[in-house]
A = this chain, B = another copy of it.
Amino acid sequence: MSEKEISLAVIKRLPRYYRYLGELMEKDVVRISSKELSEKMQVTASQIRQDLNNFGGFGQQGYGYNVEHLYTEIGKILGLDKRYNIIIIGAGNLGQALANYTDFEKRGFILKGIFDVNPILIGLSIRGTEIRLMGELEEFIKSNNIDIAVLTIPKHNAPKVAADLVNWGVHAFWNFAPCDLNLPKDIIVENVHLSESIMRLSYDLKTLKEQPN
């Protein structure tokens, strides 16, 4: 019995709801109506109610939503109550920056290892996680039950490395390499394409300068 498919547009909004609800909790706000939340977030109240009702009725007529309850429920929908083992491939600047990224643990992602081709980096530790040589990768993945690989390597070998990782049992990627990985479609890939982001910024700037009104 497959439930109705949730649209990608809805999924992409959930983390933002989650963030706002977290901020409300910090301010000790107990309840909020879709109308109040919509004003804060600059979306329509209708959209909030539609989005949430894809997953169930979390509110109460005449009252609104309990902030803490809704926060917890969205967390569950996003799978933030689960634990996953991750590795970082590529210990360059970005790889090291992400290794220091404490949000991983907050979201249930446990950093198990960091790998690089450069022998100079080997043995160095980031927040208690040692950098290892790529040669150890296959053995490490198999013995550490790795779910997710973060790819912070150059684009020229990213698809090849990703294909190897899939063969060794990794089934999800957080990909920072500026390319498509072309993996089987049962493999999950979340891309962070900084160069595409910077081009959108460039477009907006150009457009602003052209229409000075």
Q: A residues near B, CB below 8 A?
A: 2, 11-12, 14-16, 18-19, 77-80, 82, 84, 92-94, 96-97, 100-101, 103-104, 107-109, 147-148, 171-172, 174, 178-179, 186, 188, 190, 192-209, 211
Contact = CB atoms under 8 A, between A and B. Distances in A.
B190 A200 contact: yes
How many copies of this chain does the complex contain?
2
A166 B183 CA distance: 43
Nearest to A96: B93
B79 A148 contact: no
Given A97-B93, A97-B96, A16 B196 contact: yes
A204 to B, nearest CB: 5
Given A14-B199, A192-B197, A194-B192, A205 B97 contact: no
A192 to B, nearest CB: 6
B103 A194 contact: yes
A209 B108 CA distance: 15
24 contacts: A2-B211, A15-B195, A15-B196, A15-B200, A19-B195, A80-B199, A80-B202, A82-B202, A93-B93, A93-B96, A94-B97, A103-B195, A103-B198, A104-B198, A107-B199, A147-B205, A148-B201, A172-B204, A172-B208, A188-B201, A188-B204, A190-B200, A192-B194, A192-B197
A58 to B, nearest CB: 17
A201 to B, nearest CB: 4
B93 A171 contact: no
A153 B177 CA distance: 23
A11 B200 contact: yes
Contact of A196 (B19, B204, B207): B19
Nearest to A191: B197
A92 B84 CA distance: 26
